[in-house]
Amino acid sequence: MRQLLIVVTVGAALGLSACADNTAPPQTDTQLNTTTVSEVNATNPLFAKSALQYEAPDFNAIKDEHFLPAITAGMEQQMNEVLAIANNPEPPSFENTLVAMERSGVLLNRAAQIFYNLAGSSSNPERRKIQAELAPKMAAHQDNINLNPALFARVKSLYEQRNELQLNSEAVRLIEEYYEDFVRAGAQLTEEQKVAIRGLNEEHSTLTNQFSQNLLAETENIAVLVETKEELEGLSAAQITAAAEAAEESGHTGKFLLDITNTTRQPMLAQLHNRELRQRLWEASANRAQSGDYDNRSLVSRLAQLRAERAKLLGYDNWASYGLEAQMAKTPEAVFNMLGSMAPAVVTNTKREAAAIQQMIAQQGGNFELQPWDWEYYAEYVRQAKFDLDESEVKQYFEFNRVLQDGVFYTFNRLFGITFKPLPDLPTYHPDVAAYEVFDKDGSSIAIFYADYFAREGKRGGAWMSSFVGQSHLTGQKPVVVNVMNIPKAPDGQPTLVSYDHVTTMFHELGHGVHGIFSNVTYPSLAGTAVPRDFVEFPSTFQEDWAGHPDVIANYAKHFETGEPIPAELLAKTIASRSFNQGFDTLEYLSAALLDMEWHSLSADQPLQDVNAFEAAALAKHGVDLAAVPPRYKSTYFSHSMGGGYSAGYYAYMWSEILAADAYAIVQSRGSLQLENGQRFRDEILSKGNSRDPMESYVAFGGREPTTDALLIRRGLEIAVE
């Protein structure tokens, strides 16, 4: 397969010794011989295809000790399969080379997809240990495939005659993707260069894993301990109870513990009256992983340098040039131009918002300059004054289960005709995870969906979609997908009331979910969300705006106690307020995207950078260095960028939002929330995966290429900058 692992954190590979020829790599002490594999197979559930529906993992049977033997044996098994393909005496054909590659690695992919999903959503010390051990080995395993000259010769032969093979368009696309991936992995390098790139890949894999594990440990380590309940004034009773329970669990009876979420911004900053505590909370977030045992600064500098060195070996000026070649954007210049063209309007809006907030501080008797820990707190007062809207009042109409059932599932039923039936007897990996069977509009069963929405220890921050089983007509597999979020769960017996941001994220993540669920392609490597990074966020972002559609929000926004619909006036204010604070929201994102691009625009010849100085210079260079609005992520906890998946790719959210806003506007012009519109989106976008060029899919759906007009309107940024 082109990708050993499709764990979309929409996000690698075993340690065999360097092997430049097409002979089998030497045996290592981590490999299992046939007898050992046979013995383990008898008791390890990962060695056999799951008997559960659609091969859903049997979490009741799987234990941590099963992962390393299965993944290790899986790598050996796949390497034997790959060597058989590479050394096949028959002339290369599509069937005996690429279809054979697509069928390889069954055990490895099954075990690895389960393991890496659990490592992100339900980590523990044993899984972190396994992850650290696997990181360099998996990288070497992938190199042993990508740098095999005999295998590449077969792929290249097919690529050069692809137009004469009388294959369908999806098969031709597969050939082209394989060829490009091999070339971009270094298949055309000299033997000396291949040795060098193997070393870089191994170090990179080790450091990205260390970065992520440091961040997980640090996030748990820096929760803010509060001595008295009085300091928590402004939080709801449920939040205070949850903080007390967290403190109790951590051995601080009678105190309160505030957990730190993934971004620089912390949700509680909008509520806490105590300014000193707000500052403590913000500083714990903004300064994380910059000192002590989990200091990521040296890792950030070396990771940026490693990527630049790898790009240079492959013939590129920098990592951004390398990474973007395979994306819709194509060049760093295109990204810088897109982000730079927005920056003046965004900064102008943000400064206006800052002035309004500073005025509110003065009105309330404050005699201090606006700081990052003040922004959201006083922005709420500005919001209330402008829209007469109390966010705590609005949240009473956003009860989690109703949002999910009557909001998210309702919308996807209206748009696509699908329904979600609970599967209470299907094993899950945590009591908070719910399983559903997904049915199409004709009543046929099409997928399994896991909903893992609540924050807990051992889960990395943020929100994502991933797959346990990917769709493929070649293998006959149907999708088994999961959505993961970090919504604070209310104490037992109390309803979980969610913010509107969490509401839209629920819509967003199921947008990724149906991208996997509706996949309708033959080859696993082209299925579902296996598309360019700057396209993968488009289908999910498209779904966000349905959360505020009048028909939808009226269906789920009902009082958690009385069940009364949200009052029309409050609903109108809620929808109108969506454009509020968009300068801040956009600028903190824009700053992070530019920071990511600047790190990955460094050349291999430049020295290791001082992280804090580099950040300050990068933001100043683009005129986005507003002290009160720091980047959404700073480098030491920028998992998207430094963890690997979105390196030189964080811009993709904005790029995809251009497509999403344009597509949503097109759908509104065609009758809005109708099955006909959903079917067209499904047929031309969601079902195609990477079986054709993404822009071709977009034009097939929209009838033209996208414009930025709808994006500016969506973000309330359609202003002239003088």
Which among 163, 263, 84 is positioned nearest to 629, based on CA atoms? 263
Q: Other C-beta atoms within 10 Å of 581: how many? A: 21
CA gap 419, 130 in Å, rounded: 38
| Cα separation, 333 vs 172, whole angstroms | 30
Active-site hit among 509, 598, 615, 657? 509
Beta-bridge partner residues of 464: 484
- In single-letter form, the type of residue at position 246 comes to A
Residue 399 annotated to the active site: no
Q: Which amino acid is at 535?
A: F
CB 138 within 8 A of CB 205: yes
Kindly tell me the number of DSSP H helices and DSSP E strands found in the chain: 28, 7
CB atoms within 10 A of CB 233: 13
- The one-letter amino acid at 368: F
Extract the runs of DSSP E, i.e. beta strands, from 246-349: 256-258
Q: Return the closest-CA partner of residue 547 out of 387, 399, 711, 410.
A: 410
Sequence letter at residue 292: G
Q: Is 42 exposed, middle or buried (0-12, 13-18, 19+ CB in 10 A)?
A: exposed
CA–CA distance, 42 with 698 (Å, rounded to integer): 48
What DSSP element (H or E) covers 482? strand 480-487
Rounded CA-CA distance 31/77 in Å is 10
Q: Which amino acid is at 89?
A: P
In the 3-class helix/strand/coil scheme, how is 530-587 assigned residue by residue? CCCHHHHHHHHHHHHHHHHCHHHHHHHCECCCCCCECCHHHHHHHHHHHHCCHHHHHH
Q: 434: Cβ–Cβ under 8 A, 6 or more apart, which residues?
A: 422, 428, 450, 451
The strand pairing partners of 480, in sequence order, are 448, 469
324 residue type, one letter = L
State whether residue 405 is helix, strand or coil: helix
Q: In what order do the strands lie in the sheet with 480-487?
A: 419-422, 434-439, 445-454, 480-487, 464-469
Q: Would you state the structure tokens that stand for residue 340, as one six-digit string?
A: 């730079």
Report the candidate in 24, 41, 45 with the shortest Cα–Cα distance to residue 32. Answer: 41
CB atoms within 10 A of CB 181: 16
- List residues with catalytic annotation: 509
